[in-house]
Chain A
Amino acid sequence: MSSATELAIRGARVRKVYPSPAGEVVALAGLDLEVAPGEFVAVTGPSGCGKTTLLNLLGALDRPSDGRLEVFGADLARLDPRAAALYRRREVGFVFQQFHLVPTLTALENVALPLRYAGVPARERRRRAAALLDAVGLAPRAGHFPAILSGGERQRVAVARALVGGARLLLADEPTGNLDGATARDIVRLLRERAAERTLLLVTHDPEVAALAERRLRLRDGHLEADSGRDSGGPLSAVVEGTRSDPVPENAPGPQGPAGPARGGDPDAPTTR
């Protein structure tokens, strides 16, 4: 077991429960997870298994109901709304399936948006955003609004936006879900290239995309069902009580069918227990 200071992510018995009139909805049921800095981890699993919830917890968009979750030493359960925002600003970059670009901002302004919230001077943020747009091959589209960009271009803008603040943790929630195969691979390649030194957690239903990761985690019903370990080294322990930690073969069928549903599948939703 690595020490906490060496880990990017350390989760111990992480639970997330949503109250609802129909009863408690358990999204994560005591997840243990450790991820090393710089690791590229694909998170797979059927709809409703808790993938997006895990990403929301790691991004401090939500708080665990129980357990301990630390990212780069920060205890995410103890962050108030402002501290959570500052944590996201410093440590986290998000890439969403639906791109989530602000429609009234140009590509350049979208990329520069996190810097605006960080209080970076206008000139500096334009420079950094332009450099990143150039790096993702969209310099000529800098002044264009999202509405006139293709899906792939929008996702490139979103990737540039996630990278611009220098986040150490990138959380990508089905970033290829709305893209065709070639574009999807292109985006993942871009993520890997540009985020080589950063920790990347990528939720995907696409086995081809998952195969590009160094390590694959498979969730089921809020539990970690399987962990492939690191391709390049020994597997990191990511064990949940009562589940295996063996490497998972790509495309391994789960109890609910194949691991890779059709692209653009339903967004993650908690499972009612």
Chain B
Amino acid sequence: MVYNALMRALLRDLLRQRLRTVLTVCGVGLGIFTVFVFGALGEHFRLTVVEARDYAGGLVRLYTKTNAEGVNPGVSPETLRRIEAMPEVRCLSPSLVLLLDGFDLESDPLLWLRPQALVEGLEADKAEAVRGQGLRLLAGRWLRAGDRRVAMVVDWLAERRGLRLGAPVTIRHQDYEVVGIYHAPDTPAVPAAIVPYAQLNERFLRPEVERARRFFRGLRRHPLLAPYLPPTLDPAALDALAEGFAHQQASLFRIYEIVPRDRSPAGTQALAEALRAQEPELAVIDPRSIREAMERAVALFLVLTLIVTVLSALVGGLLVVNTMAMAVVERRREIGVKAALGATPAQIAREFVAEAALLAMGGALLGMALGALAVAACEPYLLDRLETGASLFRITPRLCAFSLGTALATGVLAGGIPAYRASRTDPAVCLREL
């Protein structure tokens, strides 16, 4: 009841100059709108880091890396066998990650500039062990041994393409049957579909092998090289050479996901350290380094959000200062009367600060409402264009609290200056100014 009466009085004071109040609220609202929309994008990236931590948790990844001679040797089968034999290793699966719809710059000239939906090939019997911790199965089942032309798809892809269990889905111009639908964190590099590794690898390698074969067979007809090749050279030997070369090239695309026996952070980290010691020529990526790399990438965006917030708060603050300074000038007589009635300087200042805070909070609510509407209106369009992930903006309680807090702090700080002036006003002078 007390707050109702106080709120009514503050609102009436603000409504004395309706146009000015409305314009100030709109100005603050515009600032908070910017903070809110940028913040929603920032929340997306922040949560991406959090979710990436969960997604990558409990796994160690192995890559090839360029050695001191500038050669990228790939990961040999012997190395893989050595790793699988380690007591800390539960299982290992190659992972081939490719563009879901293939590479086609004609249909998407900006393909390099934006995130793309991906498909991952995992050994079918190890898919659950590798991804079971990072992904949540919503319907159907995981891949299992013997699976060939089957796929698991992420929920947002199933929704957009109208896919159900048992329905066909086209991945890289090949039809698969949907056997599972999962929910994935909205993180870059998280696959929109998972298919058996053998199937995807074969599909990916076949053209590479053909290309290599054509090249090697062409050597026999090459005017400079043909005289040096023995006439007895078996074409089948050339084909085998071509296939080996293609496999070697393709191995550079492969990642190896290693599941530790102990999937706790400490256990995973211990396995990573053991691998680094055992295989110094390979790149060993542990969850901690993934998280740190993502945090560094997101930090830039968070700094941008902070700059936008500060600028918006400054602009909104100046509007509030201006409005409240005018209110103090207009109400000098009232200030004198209130002082005569026993209001202390602090009480007078508090009234103006509360009014400024209310003004800013009005702007905050307007800005947040407009921001939420803008996000709701734009996101389906943007997601449809990008076809990646389930959301670009995240409106979270934390973001709402941050926006309101920014507005409140702006109002209190900006209102403080005129309020201080009001509290220092000489009541006798105010009452004489009639």
Contacts and interface: CB of A to CB of B under 8 A. Distances in A.
A94 B340 CA distance: 7
A118 B2 contact: no
B5 A100 contact: no
A221 B365 CA distance: 58
A61 B430 CA distance: 10
Contacts of A117: 338, 341-344, 347
Contacts, number: 79
A165 interface: yes
A251 to B, nearest CB: 27
A52 B333 CA distance: 16
Given A62-B428, A102-B337, A82 B13 contact: no
Interface stretch (A68-76, A85-93, A197-205, A212-220): A85-93
A122 B346 CA distance: 20
Interface string B328-349: 0000011011111111111100
Given A82-B346, A98-B434, A104-B12, A88 B341 contact: yes
B342 A118 contact: yes
A232 B346 CA distance: 44
B16 A113 contact: no
B428 A61 contact: yes
A271 interface: no
Q: Which of B2, B16, B431 has the most CB of A within 10 A?
A: B431
Interface string B4-43: 0100010011001000000000000000000000000000
B432 interface: yes
A96 interface: yes
Q: Is the interface of B mostly helix, strand, loop or mixed?
A: helix
A56 interface: yes
B340 A122 contact: no
B342 A100 contact: no
B338 A267 contact: no
A5 B426 CA distance: 30
A105 B346 contact: no
B427 interface: yes
23 contacts: A61-B340, A82-B345, A82-B346, A86-B344, A88-B339, A89-B341, A92-B342, A94-B341, A100-B333, A100-B334, A102-B334, A102-B337, A104-B12, A104-B16, A105-B12, A113-B338, A117-B342, A118-B342, A122-B1, A122-B5, A123-B1, A161-B341, A165-B342
Interface of B: 1-2, 5, 9, 12-13, 16, 333-334, 336-347, 426-428, 431-432, 434
